[in-house]
Structures are given as structure tokens and as C-alpha cells.
Amino acid sequence: MNSNFINANTLGYLLDSGEVLNIQCRARNCRHHKDLDIRWMIKYANKKGFEGFNYPTLHKDLVKLFNFKCSKCGKRDIGFSQRAMK
């Protein structure tokens, strides 16, 4: 395997590619959303004993480690999306 290979489903990929990870509340009356700080997420994952750069960005993995909830309404029904930085 090439040592320069970066999995597109990792926090490191998002950081290196400049893509943005956005979190959205799916609660019907809220729909709050914001961009997440990828550098902070990598540091947090490292602190929790994971290799933050290679931590997966799948919904189940992000929810498991970061225990996200909406900062506006407090509900845990959240989703994520990736987009290119403007």
C-alpha cells in the first residue's frame, strides 16, 4: 500500500483536501447547522486514544466518539455533510 494514501472517509482527508464537514440538526422545528472544526476533532480523537488523522467520518463513528447534539435545541437527531471550501 502506498504510504501517501489517504482514505477519503477520514478527518485527515478533510483537513488535507480543504473540505468542510457540516453538522445539521434534523429536528423538524430547528434545522440548526454549522461547520465543524476539523483540527479540534483530530486533537480530540487523539486525546481519546484514537489516531485522529485517520478517524473515520462515517455518521456512526462521529456520533459514537463526539456524542454530538444540537447546540440550539439539544436534540441528538443530527446529520453531517461534506462540501468543498469556498
- 29-44 pLDDT per residue, tens: 999 999 999 999 999 9
In a domain, 47, yes or no: yes
Domain that residue 72 falls in: 11-84
In a domain, 16, yes or no: yes
- 40-84 pLDDT per residue, tens: 999 999 999 999 999 999 999 999 999 999 999 999 999 999 888
In a domain, 5, yes or no: no
pTM assigned to the model: 0.84
In a domain, 3, yes or no: no
Q: Please check whether residue 9 is in contact with residue 56, taking contact to mean a CB–CB distance below 8 angstroms.
A: yes
In a domain, 1, yes or no: no
In a domain, 25, yes or no: yes
Domain count, the chain: 1
In a domain, 39, yes or no: yes
- Tell me the residue type at 15: L
Give whole-number Cα distances, 18 to 28, 72, 80, in Å: 30, 27, 16
Give whole-number Cα distances, 75 to 26, 48, 54, 67, 79, in Å: 9, 24, 28, 11, 12
Q: Pairing mode, if any, of strands 19-25 and 78-84?
A: antiparallel
